[in-house]
Amino acid sequence: MNRIVFLSVIFLLPLFALAQKLTLNGQITGLPDGSKVVLTDLENPGAPLQSTESKAGAFTLATKLEGASLLSLGVGDSVKTAVFVGNETVSVKGDISQNAEDWTYSGSTVQDNFVEFQDIFVPKFGALNKLVQQLQFGNGSEEIRTKLDNAVMDIQKSVDDFIGKNPASPVSTLAILSTINLTEDVSVLEKRANSLKPAALSNVFGGQLKQAIVSAKFNAVGSIALDFSQADTTGSQVSLSQFRGKYVLVDFWASWCGPCRKENHFLVKTFDKYKDKNFTVLGVSLDDDKEDWLKAIKKDELNWTQVSDLKGWENAVAMKYKITSIPRNLLIGPDGKILAKDLRGDALDDKLAELLGE
Which CATH number describes the domain made up of 12-107? 2.60.40.10
Residue type, 242: Q
Rounded Cα distance, 336 and 331, in Å: 10
**Each residue of 285-296: pLDDT tens digit?**
999 999 999 999
For residues 133-158, give the mean pLDDT.
84
Other residues' Cβ atoms within 10 Å of the Cβ of residue 55: 12
**Each residue of 220-240: pLDDT tens digit?**
888 889 999 999 999 999 999
Percent of the chain scoring above 90 in pLDDT: 75
pLDDT band with cut points at 50, 70 and 90 for residue 2: very low
Query: Which is more confident, 184 or 52?
Result: 52
Rounded Cα distance, 348 and 244, in Å: 20
What is the per-residue pLDDT for 57? 96
Q: Is the pLDDT of residue 119 over 50?
A: yes
What are the angstrom distances between the C-alpha of 8 and each of 3, 16, 17, 18, 193? Answer: 9, 12, 15, 16, 37
Q: Where are the beta strands (DSSP E) in 165-246?
A: 229-231, 237-239
What is the per-residue pLDDT for 4? 38
Rounded Cα distance, 253 and 329, in Å: 9
Rounded Cα distance, 245 and 153, in Å: 36
Q: Is the pLDDT of residue 141 over 90?
A: no
Per-residue DSSP letter, 336: S
Q: Helices (H), strands (E): how many in the chain?
A: 11, 15
What is the per-residue pLDDT for 139? 60
For residues 256-264, give the mean pLDDT.
92
Rounded Cα distance, 245 and 240, in Å: 11
Which helix or strand (DSSP H or E) is residue 75 part of? strand 69-75
Q: Is the pLDDT of residue 15 over 90?
A: no
Q: Is the pLDDT of residue 337 over 50?
A: yes
Residues, the chain, total? 358
229-356: CATH, from 3.30.70.20, 1.10.10.10, 1.20.1050.10, 3.40.30.10: 3.40.30.10
Domain with CATH 3.40.30.10 in the chain: 229-356
Note whether 206 and 200 are within 8 A (CB). Answer: yes
Domain with CATH 2.60.40.10 in the chain: 12-107
pLDDT band with cut points at 50, 70 and 90 for residue 215: confident
Query: Which is more confident, 30 or 132?
Result: 30
**Each residue of 70-91: pLDDT tens digit?**
999 999 988 999 999 999 999 9
